[in-house]
């Protein structure tokens, strides 16, 4: 890591505003939301359904643009960047995990984890090596040839996590990643995420309804009237 890189947040959301207009109604979902995500820190985003958690994650992940405010990645403002540059940052600096695994069904676990690296332009042999290592690290060393349908829910979600970190992102954003799993499996998948934060110093933001899991993270925030508030 370059010198001083840990002095600035990996992702910083500044005064984010997001509204959705449907017909005559305008819903203000985010209204001046501010949040800093730091290297090596896990943050739980705990708020009721409809509060704007997914919206915040999508904006932090440059999947959606705010109506106002700025998203800084590694200290660089992103609003003025071209689509190509934003896509590049998304590919290299940000990993995303969804509630459902969204793996490609016709590809093996290994191929699913190789793909983001190949899109980034790495050599096939390198992607095989790295994908194999990450899957083994997440306890899936004997499942690499399996297709998603041949894996359990927890295994599928761990492959999705492996895919999200395949390009060694600086931020990992997860939208209810254990929401579809039974408590034991959720615990296992959550453990894998926490292990990654400590091992890779990725900055992690996880939207969750699970207060027990949130309690095991470094920091907890919520959304109240469109603003981020610190809990505890
Ligand atoms: P959460 O993840 O906390 O459940 P969301 O961010 O998904 O909340 O949604 C927040 C609110 O914004 C909800 O009321 C939802 O209906 C609305 N919303 C989200 N996306 C859109 C959209 N693309 N168009 C219109 N309304 C939306």
pLDDT at 232: 80
The DSSP bridge pattern shows strands 171-175 and 203-207 to be parallel
Strand order in the sheet with 76-77: 25-37, 11-22, 68-73, 76-77
Ligand 1 centroid–CA 64 distance in Å is 12
H helix runs in the chain, sequence order: 53-60, 83-93, 109-120, 124-137, 153-164, 183-200, 211-215
pLDDT at 7 over 90: no
Ligand 1 contact via 51 beta carbon (within 6 Å): yes
The pLDDT tens digits of the residues spanning 146-178 come to 999 999 999 999 999 999 999 999 999 999 999
Note whether 223 and 229 are within 8 A (CB): yes
Gap between the Cα atoms of 70 and 79, Å rounded: 6
Please indicate whether residue 4 or residue 54 has the higher confidence score (pLDDT): 54
Ligand 1 contact via 18 beta carbon (within 6 Å): no
């Amino acid at each position: 890591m370059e010198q001083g890189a840990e002095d600035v947040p990996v992702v910083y959301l500044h005064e984010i505003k997001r509204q959705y207009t449907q017909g005559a109604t305008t819903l203000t979902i985010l209204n001046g939301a501010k949040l800093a995500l730091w290297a090596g820190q896990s943050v739980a985003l705990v708020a009721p359904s409809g509060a704007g958690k997914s919206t915040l994650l999508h904006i932090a992940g440059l999947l959606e643009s705010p109506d106002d405010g700025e998203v800084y990645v590694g200290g660089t403002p992103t609003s003025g960047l071209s689509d190509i540059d934003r896509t590049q940052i998304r590919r290299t600096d940000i990993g995303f995990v969804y509630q459902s695994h969204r793996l490609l069904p016709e590809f093996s676990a290994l191929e699913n984890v190789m793909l983001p690296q190949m899109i980034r332009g790495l050599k096939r042999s390198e992607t095989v090596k790295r994908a194999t290592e990450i899957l083994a690290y997440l306890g899936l060393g004997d499942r690499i040839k399996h297709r998603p349908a041949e894996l359990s829910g927890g295994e599928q979600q761990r492959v999705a996590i492996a895919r999200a970190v395949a390009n060694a992102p600086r931020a990992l954003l997860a939208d209810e990643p254990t929401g579809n799993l039974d408590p034991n499996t959720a615990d296992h998948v959550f453990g894998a995420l926490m292990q990654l934060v400590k091992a890779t110093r990725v900055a992690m933001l996880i939207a969750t309804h699970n207060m027990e899991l949130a309690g095991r993270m470094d920091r907890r925030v919520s959304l109240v009237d469109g603003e981020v508030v610190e809990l505890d």
